[in-house]
Structure 1
């Protein structure tokens, strides 16, 4: 990441990061990754989170939250045309541990950007 900002100021319920594209070995020149994470109200609650990329070559993300468009909590969503609605498909995260999820998402993000 080249820069990171938290929103709203002082609470950081959402983090926006400019992706350091030059480090990803891809032809993409700019992009933003917005990360949201909520651990839940109790230790028994499932976390909800999303890693959503927006850039010159796409608008897509990996989400772990209830969504009426898919049966599972984990899903991938993508909008191929800015005027179109999102397409959804189930996605299974290997873990809901924050550190593991970050590495997993960054790996699939890089692969996706390199294939564009």
Structure 2
């Protein structure tokens, strides 16, 4: 499902970019990537902030958990096609555990693309 991954910055991996195997996802567009960003916060009691963001030549969509002004609460899904503006909708994450979220988002992504 994933061809290659790159982590940024080197050795810290606050951001990981995965090149996806488009034939396995049934995507008709080149350059499909999933970018995952994760920030644990300044202290133990701080909320994590994260995003799972997919893009290819035609679509751009993602699940985000951070303070923002587009919807109520921290969680949202955003999507756009081509050069259109993003549309936003609230999204409730079932967990803030990174391993669980990867499976959740990969399942959501599979049904969207």
TM-score greater than 0.5 by the shorter chain:
yes
- Displacement after TM superposition at 1:29 (Å): 4.4
The C-alpha deviation readout for 1:9-59, integer Å capped at 9, x for no partner, is 2332111110122333x2434300010001112221111000000113410
Task: Give unpaired runs (5+ residues) of structure 2.
Answer: none
C-alpha RMSD of matched pairs (Å)? 1.4
Map 1:7-86 to 2 at 5 A.
7-24=8-25, 26-30=26-30, 31-82=32-83, 84-86=84-86
CA 34–27 in structure 1, closer or farther in 2 if over 3 Å, else same:
closer
Aligned residue pairs, count: 111
What SS does the aligned partner of 2:67 have? coil
- TM score, norm. by length of structure 2: 0.89
Tell me the equivalent position of 2:104.
Answer: 104
Q: Is the 8 A contact 2:58 2:82 kept in 1?
A: no
Q: Tell me, which stretches of 5 or more residues in structure 1 are unaligned?
A: none
TM-score normalised to structure 1 length: 0.87
Contact map agreement 2:19 2:34 (CA 8 A) in 1: yes
